[in-house]
Amino acid sequence: MLSLKCPGCGANIELDESRDFGFCSYCGYKMMLKDVVEVRHREASSTDRYSDGMTEMTKIMDYFGQISDKYQKREELKKQYAELQKKGYKALTGWGIVITVIGLLSISSGAFGVVLLIVGCLFLAGGYSQGEKSKKEMEAIKPQITQLENEIIKHYEDYGVCPLGIEYTQPAVLSILSNYIRQGRAYNVKEAINLLEDENYKNEMRQIAINTQKAAEEQARAARDMAISSSYNGLFNSRK
Ligand SMILES: [Zn+2]
């Protein structure tokens, strides 16, 4: 006898294995024995595949989790570097140029032009010294990032044959991948990566769609404003 859950009513039933088909004794649902066996087989193999994928994923997470502080530090430094790169000295330099040019143009008008010229040069000097300071800080950060990157690469290579590229070994990415497997959306690490790529692509497309819609709304608003203002003008002119 083969015990199983009836697909029709969910009751626990038993089927005679020597026959080709059987009926549920509660709801009368007819089941072909070969289908039942096939479903059983598929369920068993998917459980195996799932636990294989989870084992692989856990191993990877444990291994790269050992250096999670390095990943974190690297991200922090990269952020600092990017901030220094676009820091305010550019604004100072920009204003310095504008004020200096105006000063030069109005120098013939006397004291006012001279004052502008001096202020402009002060801005330029301030921008320059801030720029130098940022540059020094950036130069100090750069080797630290390189050092961390080399350590991460070393750790990655020591793993041996890794089913995922080094760009996926960050803890945040690994936890997304492992969730895919846990949720049964992927059976192994490779499938989880494919799913992540798909999702990223979809998100990008969604973002493009959102931006397009925003632009369209912006245009519609501008057109409406223009229509309102021209109808106001029409009203105003007709009253004249
Ligand atoms: Zn039934």
- Secondary structure (H, E, C), 157-187: HHCCCCCCCHHHCCHHHHHHHHHHHHCCCCC
At residue 234, the pLDDT reads 65
The larger pLDDT score, comparing residue 235 to residue 87, is at 87
At residue 132, the pLDDT reads 86
Question: Do 134 and 29 form a contact (C-beta atoms < 8 A)?
Answer: no
First-to-final CA distance of the chain: 99
How many A from CA of 2 to the centre of ligand 1?
15
Angle, helix 189-239 to helix 171-182, in steps of 10 degrees: 100
Q: Which residue has the tokens 């070994």?
A: 169
How many A from CA of 46 to the centre of ligand 1?
25
pTM of structure: 0.60
Q: What is the pLDDT of residues 48-74, one digit of tens each?
A: 878 888 899 999 999 999 999 999 999
At residue 238, the pLDDT reads 54
At residue 177, the pLDDT reads 93
How many A from CA of 32 to the centre of ligand 1?
13
Question: Whole-angstrom Cα distance, residue 230 to residue 189?
Answer: 61
How many A from CA of 142 to the centre of ligand 1?
68
Q: Cα separations (Å) of 72 from 21, 22, 58, 138, 225?
A: 60, 60, 20, 18, 48
Q: What is the pLDDT of residues 132-188, one digit of tens each?
A: 888 899 999 999 999 999 999 999 999 998 889 999 999 989 999 999 988 888 888
How many A from CA of 6 to the centre of ligand 1?
5
How many A from CA of 226 to the centre of ligand 1?
68
How many A from CA of 5 to the centre of ligand 1?
8
At residue 34, the pLDDT reads 82
The larger pLDDT score, comparing residue 15 to residue 240, is at 15
Strands (E) across 42-170 are located at none
| % of the chain residues with pLDDT over 90 | 32
Q: Say yes or no to pLDDT of 237 above 70.
A: no
Q: Cα separations (Å) of 214 from 38, 71, 200, 224?
A: 51, 36, 21, 15
Q: What is the mean pLDDT of the chain?
A: 86
Q: Kindly indicate the confidence band of residue 240, based on its pLDDT and cuts at 50, 70 and 90.
A: very low
